[in-house]
Each structure stands twice: as structure tokens, then as C-alpha cells.
């Protein structure tokens, strides 16, 4: 099997009691944790310490393969995770100059995500903890995205507002503590990353010379830089009239697909359109605008309900889509306007990786929460809410927001 005792980090293993005493000595000093991520299309592993210092990481991205196939095929993703997980974990440990004996726990994403992919990380971890006797901390993928902000900026204390925007999720929540989130609004249909990906595919951006190997979001951001945001009047395409914090892209996506079809007819081509950059700029702008209105309402609701302190208000934005520069810029304008502090982890930490999982595990380890009593009984959960959902209470409050212009005309 993958990791026979002598195989673990190329070292012979110590006895269980020795390991436990080493773990115990670690617990008095600076503890280390190994994080493993396989929930979607990145096989990631990392070792971090209690102070959020990254000791070593390794990432095997499947993105290019899935972009070529027009989306993630779960069985293929599973196969690719299976092929690389052992090497990725060993490489993270080697880069950290660490072996299992130095670790205090293993943290692995077990929810939510693609079942076949979660299974790979979970099976690997079960075997690993059975071999090493290390404690196991199952991690919620979206919580890991949110807590990354506390690793990169230690001024981020609870409570804080957090927008999680990825290929599979879109959640606006109040983070009250580790493992304690209140959802103010979330996506009712697809996520923003999925909208970017589907529109990019419809625009055939994978064939565009400037977009080779990029994800849909990256490709749209790249081309949008040369485009005009005014091509599409997206104002009425979202659920703007609903005074809630929920997010929906379905009407918008359909309108964009209609526009592309009309442009193809007009331009007499089914290849890349002449005004593709304008379409990208417009799409990116309207997705951003939708997110901005939801955050503004969330901020107002929290003020009304007295859910956040008057001082030191923080907005954390994370997830793959948070690496978008246009969205970051809009949110930084929004935060200036509302006197919030914006915390966006660097793009590399916004997309899926093992570091965020290790850190989320560390947050739990420090509090003594989240440890699996019986690691072999842990199950993966393709769907699991991040916390209590109060979106309908937010909608009932019908909070008005003032118009806020985050973009410059030109």
C-alpha cells in the first residue's frame, strides 16, 4: 500500500508511545499540522505552525486538464488525486523538513465537495492516521477559505463579515468564531466562478491565444482589461429588486448567452467574437456589481441587528474568484466607503490549496475542537452548510441600500 511504515517520509517509524511523547512535547512548543485538500481539482498538502508560518507546501493542479475537457469530470479528478496525493504529501513534508513524528495532527477537507474527490483525501488520511497514531481533524472547505484570512493577517479577530466566492460556492456570512458561522445570504443557483467558467467556455476563450490554460475567471479578467463595461445592461438581470443577501446568476447567464448568440449572428462567426473583450468586461462588471450590492446589504443588516462591533469592522473575501483584481478593487472601494477593513488573502491562497486546510485544522487544534474521536468512522459530506442560515430573516428585514458606484467611467 502507499505508505508502509518505512515509507513515511523515507524514515523508519518510531514506536507509538515515542510518537505520542513527541506530539506531547510539540504541544508545549510550536505545534505543526499537516493539511490535505482534495475536494475538487487541486491536490494540495502543506505544513504550517501555530503562528501561521508556512513550513512547506505542494500543489498538483488539475485545472489545465479540466479546462481542456470543458469542466471537472469527477471520475477523472478522482483518478488524478489518487495518482498524486502520496507524492504531494511527501513533497510538502520534505519541503518543510518535517516528518510525521514532528506533527501534532493531520487536517483534511471532508466537506463539502465532489464525493469522489473528497473520498481520496479521506481514505488517504484514514490510513495515514492509522499508521502514525496522529489525531485527525476533518475540515470544512469553506471554513478553511474563511480562516485563511486570520493566517495572513493576525489583526482579523472574530466577529467578521466574510464573502466566500468560488467555483462551487457563494456565501456571505458572519464569522463569530472558529466553527461558528451565520449565513446572511448564499447562492440560489450557481456560483460566480461557475458563471465565469460557463461564459468563458461559451466564448471559446480556451482557444484564445492570450488565455491558454487559464480558468474561465482568469481568462475573462485578462480580456476584460481591454474591454468596455457598458456593452451589456445587466442591471435588471439580477435579483436586484429582492432586498435580501442571496445571490443568483441564472438570469444573467441566460442574458449573456443570448447576447453571444446575437453577436455571432451579427458578426457571421461561431469563432471568437470581435468584441470579446467588451463582453468579458461587461460580464465581470455585472458579476462584481451583484456581489457589491449583497455585501452592502449585509453590512447594513449587521449594523441594524447589532451583530458587529462599531470599531474594527472587517470584511474578508476569499475563494478562487477573490483572486480577481477587478472584484478586489471594487471591494476595496466599498470598504473605504463603509470604513471596513478589507482582508483578501493573496491570490495563491484564494484558490484551493493545502495551506488553508492546515491552518483551519490548526485553528481547531488550538481550541481543542474538531478532533475526530474515531478517525476510521469519519465520513465525507458532499454538501454541508457552513453554519446557521438566517437569509430569510435578512430578506424579511427588507434593508434598503444606497446606490454605490465602485467603478470609474471611461
When asked if residue 44 is in the footprint of ligand KG4 (CB under 6 A), the reply is: no
Among 119, 215, 282, 313, binds ligand KG4 (CB under 6 A): 215
Among 168, 227, 298, 361, binds ligand KG4 (CB under 6 A): 168
Using the minimum distance from each CB to Zn ion, give the nearer residue, 114 or 184.
Answer: 114
Among 78, 218, 293, 313, binds ligand KG4 (CB under 6 A): 218
When asked if residue 43 is in the footprint of ligand KG4 (CB under 6 A), the reply is: no
Rounded to an integer, what distance in angstroms lies between the CA atom of residue 176 and that of residue 130?
34
Pick what 23 binds: Zn ion, ligand KG4, none; C-beta below 5 to 8 Å, kind-dependent: none
Using the minimum distance from each CB to ligand KG4, give the nearer residue, 63 or 126.
Answer: 63
Pick what 345 binds: Zn ion, ligand KG4, none; C-beta below 5 to 8 Å, kind-dependent: none
Using the minimum distance from each CB to ligand KG4, give the nearer residue, 221 or 263.
Answer: 221
Q: CB pairs under 8 A, 24+ apart, for 336-341?
A: 337/404, 338/296, 338/299, 338/313, 339/313, 340/161, 340/299, 340/313, 340/314, 340/315, 341/155, 341/312, 341/313, 341/314, 341/315
- 342 forms beta bridges with 315
Please enumerate in sequence order all residues whose Cβ is within 8 A of that of 318, keeping only pairs 6 or more positions apart, or say none: 145, 146, 148, 149, 162, 163, 164, 165, 344, 345, 349, 350
Stretch that binds ligand KG4, among 74-82, 161-169, 224-232, 242-250 (CB under 6 A): 161-169
- Asked whether 162 and 317 are in contact (CB, 8 A), the reply is yes
Give the number of C-alpha atoms closer than 13 A to the C-alpha of residue 242, restricted to the C-beta side: 16
Rounded to an integer, what distance in angstroms lies between the CA atom of residue 332 and that of residue 168?
24
Instruction: Give residues 310-349 in contact with ligand KG4 (rule: CB under 6 A).
Output: 319-321, 323-324
CA angle 144, 145, 149 (to 5 degrees): 100
Using the minimum distance from each CB to Zn ion, give the nearer residue, 277 or 356.
Answer: 356
Please enumerate in sequence order all residues whose Cβ is within 8 A of that of 164, keeping only pairs 6 or more positions apart, or say none: 142, 145, 146, 170, 171, 173, 317, 318, 319, 386
The CB-of-195 to Zn ion minimum distance in angstroms stands at 16
Pick what 293 binds: Zn ion, ligand KG4, none; C-beta below 5 to 8 Å, kind-dependent: none
When asked if residue 221 is in the footprint of ligand KG4 (CB under 6 A), the reply is: yes
Among 38, 61, 82, 166, binds Zn ion (CB under 5 A): 166
The residues that touch Zn ion, with contacts defined as CB under 5 A, are: 166, 352
The residues that touch ligand KG4, with contacts defined as CB under 6 A, are: 40, 166-168, 193-194, 196-197, 215-218, 221, 319-321, 323-324, 351-352
Amino acid at each position: 500500500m502507499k505508505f508502509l511504515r518505512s515509507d513515511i517520509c523515507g524514515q523508519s517509524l518510531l514506536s507509538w508511545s515515542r510518537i505520542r511523547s513527541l506530539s506531547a512535547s510539540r504541544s508545549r512548543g510550536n505545534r505543526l499540522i499537516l493539511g490535505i485538500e482534495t475536494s475538487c481539482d487541486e491536490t494540495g498538502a502543506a505544513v504550517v505552525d501555530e503562528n501561521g508560518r508556512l513550513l512547506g507546501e505542494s500543489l498538483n493542479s488539475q485545472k489545465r486538464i479540466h479546462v481542456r475537457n470543458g469542466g471537472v469530470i469527477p471520475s477523472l479528478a478522482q483518478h488524478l488525486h489518487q495518482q498524486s496525493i502520496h507524492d504531494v504529501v511527501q513533497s510538502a513534508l520534505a519541503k518543510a523538513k518535517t516528518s510525521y513524528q514532528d506533527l501534532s495532527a493531520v487536517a483534511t477537507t471532508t466537506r463539502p465537495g465532489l464525493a469522489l474527490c473528497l473520498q481520496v483525501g479521506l481514505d488517504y488520511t484514514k490510513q495515514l492516521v492509522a499508521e502514525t497514531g496522529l489525531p485527525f481533524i476533518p475540515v470544512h472547505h469553506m471554513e478553511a477559505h474563511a480562516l485563511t484570512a486570520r493566517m495572513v493577517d493576525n489583526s482579523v479577530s472574530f466577529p467578521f463579515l466574510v464573502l466566500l466566492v468560488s467555483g462551487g460556492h457563494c456565501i456571505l456570512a458572519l464569522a463569530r468564531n472558529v466553527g461558528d458561522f451565520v449565513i446572511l445570504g448564499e447562492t440560489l443557483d450557481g456560483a460566480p466562478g461557475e458563471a465565469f467558467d460557463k461564459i468563458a467556455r461559451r466564448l471559446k476563450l480556451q482557444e484564445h491565444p492570450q488565455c491558454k490554460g487559464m480558468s474561465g475567471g482568469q481568462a475573462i479578467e485578462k480580456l476584460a482589461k481591454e474591454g468596455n463595461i457598458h456593452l451589456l445592461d445587466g442591471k435588471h438581470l439580477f435579483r436586484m429588486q429582492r432586498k435580501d443577501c442571496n445571490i443568483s446568476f441564472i438570469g444573467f447567464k441566460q442574458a449573456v448567452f443570448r447576447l453571444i448568440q446575437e453577436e455571432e449572428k451579427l458578426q457571421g462567426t461561431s469563432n471568437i467574437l470581435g468584441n470579446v473583450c467588451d463582453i468579458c468586461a461587461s460580464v465581470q462588471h455585472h458579476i462584481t456589481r451583484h456581489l457589491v450590492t449583497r455585501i452592502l446589504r449585509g453590512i447594513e443588516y449587521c449594523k441594524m441587528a447589532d451583530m458587529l462591533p462599531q470599531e474594527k469592522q472587517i470584511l474578508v473575501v476569499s475563494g478562487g474568484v477573490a483572486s480577481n483584481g477587478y472584484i478586489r478593487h471594487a471591494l476595496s472601494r466599498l470598504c473605504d466607503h463603509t470604513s471596513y477593513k478589507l482582508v483578501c488573502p493573496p491570490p495563491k491562497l484564494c484558490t484551493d490549496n493545502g495551506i488553508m486546510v492546515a491552518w483551519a485544522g490548526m485553528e481547531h487544534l488550538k481550541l481543542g475542537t474538531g478532533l475526530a474521536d474515531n478517525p476510521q468512522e469519519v465520513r465525507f459530506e458532499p454538501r454541508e452548510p457552513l453554519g446557521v442560515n438566517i437569509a430569510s430573516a435578512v430578506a424579511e428585514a427588507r434593508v434598503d441600500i444606497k446606490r454605490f458606484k465602485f467603478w470609474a467611467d471611461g
